[in-house]
């Protein structure tokens, strides 16, 4: 029995990942929470994310060839990323995935990865409000 095709191949390859990334960054461009975290010109950000997602989901290893190991925590460590940033990021990424129309089960795989990765990159502790007091 031949191996199952990668998610990259199942969804249609680089054109589909490019469409997801473009839809995502179209949302980021007008988001008051996320926009300040990105450079003025989003061209490189779009390119890097397209390469990263393509590679992660079984496409060409171009990201690694151009930028080395992804090291997601390290690359995002200088940003303060809390629940607000995570939720804004997920709002745009999940909408981007939906806008492209990824078929199941690849859609669920992409969504699960995005949610777990967004959670993983949160680096600001959640503050809990208790009767007028804030606790970490």
CATH class of 7-135: mainly alpha
Give me the pLDDT at residue 133, please: 59
41-95-84-31 Cα dihedral, nearest 10 degrees: 40
Q: How far apart are CA 89 and CA 71, in angstroms?
A: 18
* 20-64 pLDDT tens trace: 999 999 999 999 999 999 999 999 999 999 999 999 999 999 999
Mean pLDDT score of the chain = 92
Q: Which of 10, 20, 15 is nearest to 114 (CA)?
A: 20
Q: Which residues contact 129 (CB under 8 A, 6 or more apart)?
A: 135
- Average pLDDT over every residue of 55-77: 92
Give the pLDDT confidence score for residue 70 in this predicted structure. Answer: 87
Q: Is the pLDDT of residue 131 over 60?
A: no
pLDDT value at residue 125? 79
The pTM assigned to this predicted structure is 0.88
Listed range (18-27, 94-103, 125-134) with the worst mean pLDDT:
125-134
Specify the pLDDT at position 134. Answer: 58
Secondary structure class of 102 (helix, strand, coil): coil
Percentage of the residues of the chain whose pLDDT score is greater than 90? 79
Residue 127 confidence (pLDDT) above 80: no
Of 78 and 54, the structure prediction assigns the larger pLDDT to 54
Q: What is the pLDDT of residue 66?
A: 93
Please name the residue ranges forming H helices in 1-136.
Answer: 7-11, 14-28, 43-56, 62-67, 72-76, 83-100, 106-121
């Amino acid at each position: 029995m031949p191996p199952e095709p990668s998610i990259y191949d199942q969804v249609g390859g680089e054109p589909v990942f490019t469409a997801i990334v473009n839809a995502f960054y179209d949302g980021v461009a007008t988001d008051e929470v996320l926009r300040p975290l990105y450079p003025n010109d989003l061209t490189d950000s779009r390119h890097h994310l397209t390469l990263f997602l393509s590679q992660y989901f079984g496409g060409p290893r171009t990201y690694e060839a151009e930028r080395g190991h992804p090291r997601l925590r390290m690359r995002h460590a200088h940003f303060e990323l809390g629940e607000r940033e995570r939720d804004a990021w997920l709002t745009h990424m999940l909408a981007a995935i939906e806008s492209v129309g990824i078929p199941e089960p690849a859609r669920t795989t992409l969504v699960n990865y995005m949610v777990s990765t967004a959670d993983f990159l949160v680096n600001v502790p959640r503050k809990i409000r208790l009767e007028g007091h804030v606790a970490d």
